[in-house]
A and B are shown apart, each in its own frame.
Chain A
Amino acid sequence: MTHSSRSRLTRRSVLKGGIGLALATTALTAIGLPVPARAAGKKVIIGAFADGGLTPFKQKIIPLAKDAGFDIEFLEDEYGVTLEKWFADAKNSAGQYDLYLLDDPWVPQFGAANVLEDLGAAGVDGGDKDWIGSMIDMGYWPPQKGPRVKGFETTTPTLICVPFVGDLQTLTYRNDVYTSGAPKTWDEVIAKGKEGVAAGKIKYPVVFRGVSGNPIVTSWYPVFLSFGGSFFDDKWNPVFNSAQGKASAEFFVGTMKQNAPSGVVEFDSDQEGAAILGGEAGAIIQYSGNALKADDPTQTKVAGKLDFGVVPKQTSAIAQMGIFIAGIPKSAPNKANSVEFLKWYVSADIQAKLSEAGSIPVKRSAFGIAKPGNRLIPVALQQLDAGALPRPRTPDWAKVEELLGIELNKALQAGSGGGAALDNAAKQVKDYLTTVGYY
């Protein structure tokens, strides 16, 4: 009896304590008392996917932000899971993040779902002439230029994201193989690369990503653009299987594969990075995250032998842009801090610091500083001026890319049939977009 009473009393007291604590917490939150953990500074919880392109930001800019009074919490995830995690966070108003560092093709998905704050209304100046125009354009939903998806034809474009780190594809090449500077054309890449192979300097003229889906499409895209291809017409009809598109695909799965490592069909960024940094390949088109490793002797066996250039051309030298772009979820717990942080971060001064730290800035003035922290930065500006295009601004890009990537990968396995692969993919894309109401 005594034991039983004591036991009941203990449970009751635990319950009482728990309920009391819950009520107290709720009451404190309701009346808006500051939570001690957030009192140290202007708290900003930044979500990012793991990528080498953010290393200078993490190492150099976050400490500056702390000096400026921001209490930055930087949460990283693997690329593949970030989209689903953040989208769920935003849709369910979970409020786990103040700022998402999105990959720019995700902007239409978040924009269409209407889960991000209007940054223009919050005071971020989208009209500042110092922005790299093609970068700030990516922050608007619906897009200011180009075709719009159904349901958003008459909607006023809103600035829901601001460019955060300017990332785009450039060429990395071996200066002991391409001795007269960056190869200007794809033919030169292959011809001089073969000479390098014959001279025993490299094993393969090129290397790229061949894995189905996003990786292979990302590698093929600059080839496609340089051959003069375009993806959709202004009514969202796929036109990537034009003569130019097919020529680029045939070149990609044929000539490029023949001059790449035999396992290129299964290569993702790790393997292509290993091939160029390990001294096996002569040239590669890649984003800055991997390109930045070219001068790091702890990462490469051929430090000093790797230089950067504009992507090769067939008819033009156009790269794919894939910038890090920041959006504030409507459910952000520290919204005002996030806006203040973004304004601070995109100021000319801090962008100059970012450039000094070795990262590609998003403001033009920061490209012109006396000592950019990386040789890639001036090349990136050359590439921007030569031509760099974002992926089509549709919330359905992931599916489109998947359908195309599977067909391209099958053709790459076969080593031929790139044109037919584009025809198949175009049909599938058209069917898919029809089912989701594009036409």
Chain B
Amino acid sequence: MAKGGTQIRKYRLQGAGLDLALPYLMLAPGLLIVLGVLVYPLWDGLRASTKVYRYGSVVADAGMQNYIKLWSDPQFLNSLWVTVKFVALSVTFETILGFALALFCLREFRGIRLLRTILIIPMVITPVVVAIVFRLIYASDAGMLTAISVWMGGGQVQILGSPVKAFIGLVILDVWEWTPLMFLILLAGLQSLPHEPFEAARVDGAGSWRVFADLTFPMMRPVLAIAIVLRTIDAFGTFDQVFVLTRGGPGEATRLVSIYGYDTAFKFQQTGYAAALFVTIGLVVLALAFSAVRLLRRVDAS
């Protein structure tokens, strides 16, 4: 061992600086790619958020003005509120449904593999396609819901023209598309739980509810927290479906921050302001994720 160490030291001394630098040189291309692809855009976005753009060019330094202006912009505040409502409702329903489905599919019975496969299909469909399909369901003139309603003797079904219904319609779309993700994560979590405590509980005569409340749920808490945090972060960035389905309307009922930010940057050419908006949302999401993780640790510790 000692002889080997001496040999390495000797080799290093012989190779001088080049050998010392070799690992770093080998890492350099990867590091450059990471800097270029991940760090630079983030830095550029941050930089842009402190500038005033006019007609596509920087005309002044704004300091923190773009960030301050956001909080007195009624359109931003409205879009933030719509986003918070959308995320809270969607993620809640997706978690409950996903967990229920995961518990159901934990059991082994004939056809379970096929059922599990079918359940994850919505998740693998492109969001834009999902939005088009839901548009064909919701449209008041030629939509499927209207067709069914007319066939049953009713009138046109108005979804996308009503602020409340359009919002609920968007939540339903999101729940349909992303419950499978929660289902998949939670099913994997359930399958990885140890069998012994459950067998012991069964021997002790514990009922299903007691097993769920005292064993399954507490043991699944970390997985649930991770699933909720992941989905929350993802839901904050929802864009494609709204862009295709409602473009934020009617009025501003479904105008998520992503849509408002997109319009601000590309339609209204307010690049700096839009950058500040997205940085702010990024920070909000980051804070949410940290809070969730801290909360989880505190609950586990207690």
Contacts and interface: CB of A to CB of B under 8 A. Distances in A.
Contact of A262 (B54, B55, B56, B156): B156
A241 to B, nearest CB: 18
Contact of B56 (A91, A271, A410): A91
Interface in B143-173: 155-156, 158, 160-163
A234 interface: no
Interface in A272-329: 274-275
Contacts of B141: 261, 263, 267, 271, 274-275
Size class of the contact patch on chain B: 20 to 34
A423 B161 CA distance: 23
Interface stretch (B198-206, B243-251, B282-290): B243-251
Given A409-B251, A413-B161, A263 B156 contact: yes
Contacts of A113: 55-57
Interface in A41-95: 83-84, 87, 91
A395 interface: yes
A266 B267 contact: no
A210 B161 contact: yes
A398 B158 contact: no
B139 interface: yes
Interface in B246-286: 247-252, 263, 265-269
Contacts of A263: 139-141, 156, 158, 160-161
Contacts of A406: 249, 251-252
Contacts of A210: 161
B133 interface: no
Contact of B251 (A212, A395, A435): A212
Contacts of A395: 55, 269
B139 A266 contact: yes
Contact of B249 (A91, A112, A213, A261): A213
Nearest to A407: B251
Contact of A398 (B54, B142, B155, B268): B268
A211 B255 CA distance: 13
B268 A396 contact: yes
Nearest to B159: A266
Interface residues of A, number: 34
B247 A84 contact: no
Contacts of A176: none
A436 interface: yes
B141 to A, nearest CB: 5
Interface string B25-62: 00000000000000000000000000000111100000
A395 B55 CA distance: 8
B65 to A, nearest CB: 10
Contacts of B162: 265, 413
A402 B55 contact: no
B250 A265 contact: yes
Contact of B250 (A212, A275, A399, A436): A212
A352 to B, nearest CB: 37
Interface string A399-429: 1001000100110010000000000000000
B250 A109 contact: no
A392 B46 CA distance: 34
B268 A399 contact: yes
Given A263-B141, A266-B139, A274-B142, A87 B248 contact: no
Contacts of A262: 140, 155-156, 158
A7 to B, nearest CB: 16
A274 B146 CA distance: 16
A273 to B, nearest CB: 11
Contacts of B54: 112, 436
Contacts of A410: 250-251
Nearest to B57: A113
Contacts of B269: 87, 109, 395
A402 B268 contact: yes
Contacts of A114: 55
Given A263-B141, A266-B160, A399-B268, A413 B250 contact: yes
A87 B257 CA distance: 22
Contacts of A275: 141
A116 to B, nearest CB: 12
Interface string A368-388: 000000000000000000000
B247 A212 contact: yes
B89 to A, nearest CB: 21
A237 to B, nearest CB: 20
A84 B161 contact: no
B281 to A, nearest CB: 19
A115 B267 CA distance: 17
A107 B276 CA distance: 27
Residue from B155, B156, B158, B161 whose CB has the most chain A CB atoms within 10 Å: B161
A47 to B, nearest CB: 16
Interface centre among B140, B163, B267 (most CB of A within 10 A): B267
A84 B267 contact: yes
Contacts of A87: 56, 266, 269
Interface in A86-134: 87, 91, 109, 112-115
26 contacts: A84-B265, A84-B266, A87-B56, A87-B266, A91-B56, A113-B56, A113-B57, A211-B247, A211-B249, A211-B250, A212-B252, A262-B140, A263-B140, A263-B160, A265-B162, A266-B160, A266-B161, A274-B141, A398-B268, A402-B268, A406-B251, A409-B249, A410-B250, A410-B251, A413-B162, A435-B69
Interface of B: 54-57, 69, 139-142, 155-156, 158, 160-163, 247-252, 263, 265-269
Given A84-B265, A271-B139, 9 more contacts: A112-B54, A212-B251, A212-B252, A261-B140, A265-B250, A396-B268, A398-B267, A402-B268, A410-B251
Q: Which 6 A-B pairs have the closest CB atoms?
A: A263-B140, A265-B161, A212-B249, A84-B266, A112-B55, A266-B160
Interface of A: 83-84, 87, 91, 109, 112-115, 210-213, 261-267, 271, 274-275, 395-396, 398-399, 402, 406, 409-410, 413, 435-436
